[in-house]
Amino acid sequence: MGYTIAQKIIKNHLLSGEMTVGQEIGLKIDQTLTQDATGTMAYIEFEAIGVPRVKTEKSVAYIDHNTLQTGFENADDHRFIQSVAKKHGIYFSRPGNGICHQVHLERFGKPGKTLIGSDSHTPTGGGIGMLAIGAGGLDVAVAMGGGAYYITMPKMVKVNLSGKLQPWVSAKDIILEVLRIMSVKGGVGKIVEYGGEGVKTLTVPERATITNMGAELGATTSIFPSDEITREFMKAQGREEDWSELSSDSDAVYDEVIDIDLSKLVPMAACPHSPDNVKTIEEIGPQKIDQVCIGSCTNSSYLDLMRVAAILKGKTVADNVSLAIAPGSKQVYNMLAKNGALADIIEAGARILECACGPCIGMGQSPNSKGISLRTFNRNFEGRSGTRDGQIYLVSPETAAASALTGVFTDPRTLGDAVDIPLPEKFDYNDNMVIAPADEKDMDSVEVLRGPNIKPYPTTSPLSDSIDVPCSLKVGDNITTDHIMPAGAKILPLRSNIPAISQHCFTVCDKDFPARAEKLGSSIIVGGANYGQGSSREHAALAPLYLGIKAVVVKSFARIHRANLVNAGILPLTFVNEADYDSINEGDELCLPDIRDRIKNNREIILINKTNGKEIPCECELSERTRDIILAGGLLDYTRHNS
């Protein structure tokens, strides 16, 4: 039996376990990336592990999220990351160089290699045939120290692309179609591979848009083959020697196959407030809009922005629209500046932002009250834009630019002849904004610079014999990590200060939660299906840890968040019978008797609701390793004891 693309990479990097679906496997990690919003914590954790130099082939620290410096905090974090990177062997991509995923794809990614990143959109690297996976900061810290990265061996899904996109239909419309078919939980426990004749019609930046937003499926990752198109892209980046061919075997077996005829797709949008709430632009109709934002790691490549510039050229943004554009990288920005496309964009009235995540993470450009905002981004969770009642629609750059000019939802196919932007033969690459680390022999002379807002990792304790605590919060289905630990310009500067950031935990759902949890001392959270979808931020586990959360009991978990809970030493429990969700209310007194022994000896777990006397069977799927992590009180303690 042959192998799929992902299975081939897994096989080459397998350190432990067997490649059987559902089994835990340990992978050797070749490259890591961090960004600043998760990076400070990841490097604090790396320091705590105590390995002097990174053991990966390449580790890069990017500054792209917390770039709005309204106080000293973000700048202090940037300085900390720069100094810690220099000391421990990590490349540092300076603020202004671009969004981590865009830059990593352009400059560092390699087909066939493994990459983990402390950001859920790390699968962007799948656009060039990397096995690129989003992870918690602590997992990245462990991998930098040479440790394996563990995942559950996923199922393989093949998305079979045939035909060719019609003019003005975009790669974004392909991933929106996949989301429409699979939903935000359809990818959990799966790797999505793209194949079929249609693949040959897609450039690397288009493939990267698709693998990037595959994160919204809940998938472990998404991947394209590495072919001649990949080679051309890497050659144009001056990195042809980094290219290698990679494809699935003809007799590879997939657990699921989805067929998409590219020629049948039309421009679409993900409507508020979920990336899988997909409708065609035609169905939405010519509704008035207030804002358009173009950028983010999904759609801010050179090709994307050149198409946008061509649409805007010689026209003016509609009176009722504010158009903001953030190029994905310095390379893209520079090329647009040199070839005049930037002038076309400026002339049309766009507000140009620095190359960074910006509005995607709520760092500025929040829309007006009830404002309808069309964004080329990948997430439209409620409140994420910074405006509680903002109505965010996720669209392609072509739909965004066309709508910015008319002031209403506009199908770009009404624009007439398509613009044909070829991939440049040579990108304007230059790594002058990437600082190499100090030589190992000089590392002792590098001082790590810490600001006053940088606080240590919260205290942990081994799993207690029994847990006897109240339920401090009950929430519904599809809770995102943006609900658990909101971002935005006000809260992001607290990413390196867990006590302070905890005061914002779950406030989107219940503003009194942090005070209540602290008052209770220890408690349990109850949730519905797909709990913790979205971002990889381990703060969504560390803040609950700080607030005394001992266990989270839900119908089902999203992958990265579940791993982050285990890493933080919080018990991730699922109901054996989903209907039992209804038999717990907030404030109920709950008990997990003999929980330590039950976890240790793999015995049945019973949650007793002392308020109504109900005995609720729960499950906690753990491998031998994750069981020991939970018993030890989290991955940091476990790693300290085992290395």
The contact set with ligand MIC (CB under 6 A) reads 37-38, 65, 119-121, 134, 361, 379, 487, 534-537
For the bound state, the minimum distance from the C-beta of residue 140 to ligand MIC, rounded and expressed in Å, comes to 11
Q: Which residue has the tokens 């029994």?
A: 466
**Which option in ligand MIC, ligand SF4, none does residue 126 bind, with CB closer than 5 to 8 A by kind?**
none
Give 300 or 334: the residue with its C-beta nearer to ligand SF4: 300
**Type and span of the H or E element at 86:** helix 72-88
**Which option in ligand MIC, ligand SF4, none does residue 29 bind, with CB closer than 5 to 8 A by kind?**
none
β-bridge partners, 374: 292, 393
Q: Which of 29, 61, 99, 590 binds ligand SF4 (CB under 6 A)?
A: 99
**Which option in ligand SF4, ligand MIC, none does residue 289 bind, with CB closer than 5 to 8 A by kind?**
none
Contact 226, 233 (CB under 8 A): no
For the bound state, the minimum distance from the C-beta of residue 276 to ligand SF4, rounded and expressed in Å, comes to 16
Give 306 or 361: the residue with its C-beta nearer to ligand SF4: 361
Give 114 or 300: the residue with its C-beta nearer to ligand SF4: 300
Q: Which of 118, 183, 365, 378 binds ligand SF4 (CB under 6 A)?
A: 378
For the bound state, the minimum distance from the C-beta of residue 213 to ligand SF4, rounded and expressed in Å, comes to 9
**Type and span of the H or E element at 501:** helix 498-501
**Do strands 291-294 and 372-375 pair parallel, antiparallel, or not at all (unpaired)?**
parallel
For the bound state, the minimum distance from the C-beta of residue 121 to ligand SF4, rounded and expressed in Å, comes to 5
For the bound state, the minimum distance from the C-beta of residue 381 to ligand MIC, rounded and expressed in Å, comes to 9
Helices (H), 145-227: 171-182, 204-213
**Which option in ligand SF4, ligand MIC, none does residue 537 bind, with CB closer than 5 to 8 A by kind?**
ligand MIC
**Type and span of the H or E element at 45:** helix 36-49
305 binds ligand SF4 (CB under 6 A): no
Q: From residue 51, how far is each of 147, 188, 236, 572 by CA, in Å?
A: 10, 33, 37, 29
Q: From residue 172, how far is each of 24, 175, 179, 267, 380 by CA, in Å?
A: 33, 5, 11, 9, 14
Give 41 or 415: the residue with its C-beta nearer to ligand MIC: 41
Residues with Cβ within 8 Å of residue 40, at least 6 apart in sequence: 77, 80, 81, 454, 495, 496
SS3 for 361? helix
Q: At 581, which amino acid appears?
A: Y
For the bound state, the minimum distance from the C-beta of residue 353 to ligand SF4, rounded and expressed in Å, comes to 12
Q: Which of 252, 271, 360, 484 binds ligand SF4 (CB under 6 A)?
A: 360
Give 40 or 170: the residue with its C-beta nearer to ligand MIC: 40
**Which option in ligand MIC, ligand SF4, none does residue 42 bind, with CB closer than 5 to 8 A by kind?**
none
Question: Of 334-342, 357-365, 458-466, 568-576, which part binds ligand SF4 (CB under 6 A)?
Answer: 357-365
Q: Which two tokens stand for residue 108?
A: 């560092």
- Of 101-120, which residues contact ligand SF4 (CB under 6 A)? 119
Give 83 or 536: the residue with its C-beta nearer to ligand MIC: 536
Contact 608, 615 (CB under 8 A): yes
Q: Which two tokens stand for residue 305?
A: 């922005």
**Which option in ligand MIC, ligand SF4, none does residue 366 bind, with CB closer than 5 to 8 A by kind?**
none
Gyration radius from the chain CA atoms: 24
For residues 629 and 599, what is the distance between their CA atoms, to the nearest angstrom? 11
What number of CA atoms fall less than 13 Å from residue 179's CA on the CB side? Answer: 30
Contacts with ligand SF4 by CB under 6 A lie at: 65, 99, 119, 121, 296-297, 357, 360-361, 377-378
